[in-house]
Amino acid sequence: MNCGCADVVTPGLLDLFEARDRMVRAARPIAGLEGVALEAAAGRVLAEPARATLDMPGVDNSAMDGYALRLDDLAAAGGGLSVVQRIPAGAGVQRLAEGGCARIFTGASVPLGADAVVPQERVWVGDDGRVRFPAEIAAGANIRRRGEESRAGDNLLAAGTRLTAAAIALLAGQGIASVTVHRRLRVALITTGDELIAAGQVWRPGAVYDSSGPMLRTLLAGQGCEVLDLGPVLDTPEALAAVLAEARDTADLVLCTGGVSVGEEDHVRPVLERLGGIAFHGVAMKPGKPFALGWLGASREAGTPLIGLPGNPVASLVGWQLLALPFVHGCQGRAPAPLERFPVAAGFSRRASRGRRELLRVVLDWRAGAPVARLAGGQGSHMLGAASQAHGYLIIDADTPVEEGLAYGYCPGAQFLD
């Protein structure tokens, strides 16, 4: 039974999008660069622009398997042209013999003098062995011109680009064997709670298997972070202070889950105020209200930043995706992408959430041709089933009921994976 406690309006909460803007503005790239081989650079963040070393393509080449010809030769011949050359990829640049055509293959260098390539499907070969061509052939057809994609010295990728498979292919195609990247962000992960036990341990009454820790380790690893796992930590100020001091001295960022609310057993905020300070605490979103940004050390500028996530795993996931992730990107030297939102019709009705934007875990139903958002399951902040199945979120403004058939802002979950 829902007692309605989660619907109590708390004064002074920060707006979700203002909190996100503050997270983006507060992030500072960590110091430290390193050179890595391109083959080991997947997921790393470029520290300097990558420039082209070659024109791309390096020479005029054929976009098709077909025949290269000089249009004037075809006009003079009348009937067709004899095949006088065969040019496979990698054969080097040749000159087209006058009065004939060249059998050419995709990627092969277009012979000097040729001004078009005709695909093999558009020609036919007569009994005399001469190749007949269609009546209309455009000059330059099916020729990839030298440098049409990039010229030597052009910027290929900006500093701050995360290296995807396509980006690595782009650099490899230029013969680039190594890149300069930001060092990996070192994140201390702390889970709190006397009740937490690890998967594989024998369950006891009152115990809770730790799900937030494995989830956040996976999310951090997916962003290329180096994870220092310092949890779980007992719910005492002394234990928490000791582990936060260790994290301050060993990590670039501290990510803490649990203990960030205002209950008697929530010690993160008072300990953080003693060891550093708090930039803000509490965000008007459901789930994820007890979110905090602070620092460990003498000042915000010189200290180690700390992000406090809620203890409930779904609330922790939402806080990570909407608020913590853009901060991590900024620390990595990346420019956080804008939060994607576009309208999608709701396939359900739901009462309004008082005082907070609500992030409903939904799946998209395409059976009618246009997407309809349907609840992925139970929406409690402890219910991981819906979160594990959801395609994304419907972001519902505070005090706004959901009416079936009306459109609301949809935020796709796929944007949080890169």
Supply 23's token pair: 């997270």
pLDDT value of position 355: 94
Residues 174 and 168: their CA atoms lie apart, in Å, by: 10
pLDDT value of position 233: 87
pLDDT value of position 2: 38
Q: How far is residue 269 from each of residues 217, 228, 261, 302, measured CA to CA in Å?
A: 23, 21, 8, 19
Query: Whole-model pTM above 0.95?
Result: no
In CATH, 34-55+149-182 is 3.90.105.10: yes
Let me know: does 5 contact 380? Beta carbons within 8 Å: no
pLDDT value of position 387: 95
pLDDT value of position 266: 62
pLDDT value of position 270: 87
Supply 53's token pair: 């070393």
Supply 30's token pair: 């960590």
**Quick one: which of 229, 231, 216 has its CA closest to 312?**
216
Q: Report the DSSP pairing between strands 116-119 and 82-87.
A: unpaired
Q: Report the DSSP pairing between strands 208-209 and 285-286.
A: unpaired
Q: Report the DSSP pairing between strands 304-309 and 66-69.
A: unpaired
pLDDT value of position 260: 66
pLDDT value of position 4: 40
Q: Which residues of the chain have pLDDT under 50?
A: 1-8
**Considering only the top CATH level, what class is 61-144?**
mainly beta
Q: Which residue has the tokens 């006058």?
A: 98
- For the chain, give every domain's residue range: 9-32+183-331, 34-55+149-182, 61-144, 342-416
Q: Which residue has the tokens 């199945």?
A: 389
* CATH architecture label of 9-32+183-331: 3-Layer(aba) Sandwich (3.40)
At 214-253, the pLDDT tens digits run 999 999 999 999 999 997 888 888 999 999 999 999 999 9
Give the list of residues 6+ apart from residue 256 with CB closer than 8 angstroms, or none: 190, 191, 192, 244, 268, 306, 307, 308, 309
In CATH, 342-416 is 3.30.1360.30: no
Let me know: does 225 contact 186? Beta carbons within 8 Å: yes
Residues 292 and 88: their CA atoms lie apart, in Å, by: 62
